[in-house]
Structure 1
Amino acid sequence: MSQELTVPCAGELFAELLPARGPVRAVSRFAEGSVTGAYRIGFAQADALPVVLKIYGTDSLWEAAKEARALRFLTGHGINISPRVLAFSSAADALGGRPCVVSSLRPGRTLTEVGDALTPAQLHEVYRQVGEVLKRLHAIPADGYGYVNGEIHKPLPDNRSHMDRMFERELRAFRENAADPAPGPDLADDLTAYVAAHSAAFSACLRPAYCHGDVHEPNLLVDLAEDGTCALTGLLDPLNMHAGDPLMDFVRLDAFSMRGDPTKIDGLLSGYGISVPGRPSGPWPVAWRSRLRLYRIALALELYNWFTIIGQTIHLPSLTRELRELVSGAEAENRLNR
């Protein structure tokens, strides 16, 4: 939003969407989370629980609708730490015609906020619970591979076809976005050749799984009790939900938050039910590693194209270096064998 949401504006909105909550008492913006405008809304009535309001641009109705559908999907399938949708508007008059989603406010603080204060045992326990939740999500039957918006859009029957389609799209965009010839055509050719030479690894994923698509610490809420116990209380922002290889959720979580931390990896795998005899603390299972590198390339391409679209070009040089390392560098091999 170009302007901060005011109490009178929020009051007008909630008088229409959730009149039983009563008058709006307070409005505050969340510091972390989605790129959309996200606010905590408090009410004057003592028994009216606060809610979360997310406001989207006038041209982003599809994003608002997809997030509402994804949240309903998660809570409808028993992922109870996901916020519950309370109201939706495709064009709210009080917001100048912008769409919005109102959801329940989950307790706790983001793992980004509290992570540095956790002991290794507490961090391991939180990631164990993350692994449990992802295992439950990934176990939900899916009818094919593809983008999810209420249903799987143009589903494909196997992971190799799905990833071939994804790489074709992302590499085409990368060629268009990489204006500098140095990181552009040569690197794009190298990436295309590497993916083509190793795409058989995608077939190791035998069935599609519903993936959250943006699991990382700003989207995970944790409640730390006085007795030192930790509880995972929230899984936020499923806008990127898709049906694919469950390892893609792990790759994103590692790239953004775990960064090879053995305590986090061991907790995650423990909760997910992965036990590899003789595996030293920290590394991913050997059978996953060829796919992990391919998915890291896919993620870096996605980020490069996204940051180009939104004009945050400061990130592009580091992503270019990462792509070069992933496709040919010794540093990539070292990371994959952590």
Structure 2
Amino acid sequence: MAIYRQMGQILRRIHTIRFAKCGEISGGELIAAGTNADYMRGMFAQQLQDFDALGGPADLGDPMRRFVAQHDPALTTSQGGVLCHNDYVDGNIHVTETSHGWQVSGVVDVERAVVADPLLDVARSTRSKSAWFAAFGAGYGVRVGVDDELLALYDLYHVLELWDWFAKRNWAEQLPDLERDIARRVT
């Protein structure tokens, strides 16, 4: 679990790189959307539109929209825009064995980086990995009970985004598990 604590600490350091606006990074340039709330509202709208267009179950689309609308005010409580790796998962972390034990030695795969609320990154990093969330969260400094609503909203975003990604590639075998995950979150 020490590696996950280190991952949390390193992500917290990455999140010290602040920006005045949130948005996508393309070609090394920030395509600003405005506030984090503006950016995330646009991203949710796009992912939900894709979900519908790709044949997502209608009995999930409406509950997701209600969940997002219900939790929308939380988007305005964002800590502001920071550099988010946007795929900060154990598969993109290099570790090295040292005389002090295993240490994080590198972070790779930054092609999906965005500028957004830092909890967007935390939610993706800890999605479905409750066994190590405590260590990661302690290293990062997650405020249990304070950050829960945003983490839940961003976690839904990542599941929806993954559903859309698999559906666009016709990897239908992946979709039922994600649909059950979505239903668990919004019903």
What TM-score, normalized to structure 1?
0.52
**What is the CA–CA distance in structure 1 between the aligned matches of 2:147 and 2:89, rounded to whole Å?**
20
Which of 139, 143, 157 is 1:271 aligned to? 139
**What is the CA–CA distance in structure 2 between the aligned matches of 1:185 and 1:131, rounded to whole Å?**
37
Unaligned runs of at least 5 residues, structure 1: 1-122, 277-284, 329-338
Which residue in the other structure is 1:210 paired with?
Answer: 83
Alpha-carbon distance change, 157 to 198 in structure 1, aligned in 2, over 3 angstroms: same
Deviations 1:67-119 (A, max 9, x none): xxxxxxxxxxxxxxxxxxxxxxxxxxxxxxxxxxxxxxxxxxxxxxxxxxxxx
The aligned amino acid for 1:151 is: E
Shift of 1:177: 0.9
Task: Give the total of aligned pairs.
Answer: 186
**What is the CA–CA distance in structure 1 between the aligned matches of 2:175 and 2:69, rounded to whole Å?**
24
Give the number of the structure with larger relative contact order, counting CA–CA contacts within 8 Å between residues 6 or more apart. 2
Shift of 1:190: 1.5
Which of 98, 112, 116 is 1:240 aligned to? 112
Q: Are residue 129 (structure 1) and residue 6 (structure 2) matched?
A: yes
Which residue in the other structure is 1:231 paired with?
Answer: 103
Deviations 1:135-178 (A, max 9, x none): 1211112131111121211x133221111101110000000112
The aligned amino acid for 2:81 is: P
Which of 170, 175, 191 is 2:64 aligned to? 191
Which of 119, 126, 143 is 2:20 aligned to? 143
Task: Tell me how large the CA RMSD over aligned residues is.
Answer: 1.7
The aligned amino acid for 1:237 is: D
Unaligned runs of at least 5 residues, structure 2: none
SS at match of 2:30: strand
**What is the CA–CA distance in structure 2 between the aligned matches of 1:195 and 1:131, rounded to whole Å?**
26
SS at match of 1:156: strand
Alpha-carbon distance change, 289 to 191 in structure 1, aligned in 2, over 3 angstroms: same
User: Of the two, which has the highest radius of gyration?
Assistant: 1
SS at match of 2:40: helix
Alpha-carbon distance change, 269 to 325 in structure 1, aligned in 2, over 3 angstroms: closer
Q: Percent identity?
A: 27
The aligned amino acid for 2:113 is: M
Deviations 1:256-289 (A, max 9, x none): 6xx111xx333323333x286xxxxxxxx11111
**What is the CA–CA distance in structure 2 between the aligned matches of 1:232 and 1:243, rounded to whole Å?**
23
